[in-house]
Amino acid sequence: MNSPDTVVPVRRAAVIFIFVTVVLDMLAFGLIIPVLPHLVQAMVGGDIAVATQWTGLFGALFGLMQFVFSPVQGALSDRFGRRPVILLSNLGLGLDFIVMALAQTLPVLFIGRIVSGITAPASRPPMPTSPT
């Protein structure tokens, strides 16, 4: 049992790894939310109504992929550990950035959002269990 005087050592590398991961995730939202609608609008010929529909589909697709694959990531995390799964998540986010930068058509953007949704980390950590 932990007493109030017990100090748990924190590894500096672990803190840096978590910080970089959180910064990448926040950077992703900070880039995708303002950029994606304008990118889609340019791809559909400037029609705002059509671009809005496509942007909504992108958001729904991302959420659906995250909903379906979060349990898979949890199982992979249980089997292989958190760090490899988080690294895989960062790789998927990086691939989405590359696809968004190079995409010339909407289906290619869809592929990027699918990859990003599949590898997206869970939106919150698992709830701690109380000892029984």
The answer to whether residue 112 is domain-embedded is: yes
Higher pLDDT, 78 or 13: 78
Q: pLDDT tens for residues 108-126?
A: 988 988 998 898 876 544 4
Provide the domain limits for residue 106: 69-123
The model scores a pTM over 0.85: no
The answer to whether residue 76 is domain-embedded is: yes
Q: Is the pLDDT of residue 128 over 80?
A: no
The answer to whether residue 2 is domain-embedded is: no
The answer to whether residue 108 is domain-embedded is: yes
Contacts of 40-49 with C-beta under 8 Å, sequence gap 24+, read 40/106, 40/109, 43/105, 43/106, 43/109, 44/106
Q: pLDDT tens for residues 6-46?
A: 776 778 887 888 888 888 778 777 777 788 888 888 888 88
The answer to whether residue 94 is domain-embedded is: yes
Q: What percent of the chain has pLDDT over 70?
A: 86
Residue 92: how many CB atoms within 10 A of its CB?
Answer: 20
The answer to whether residue 113 is domain-embedded is: yes
The answer to whether residue 79 is domain-embedded is: yes
The answer to whether residue 95 is domain-embedded is: yes
**Considering its fold, how many domains does the chain have in total?**
1
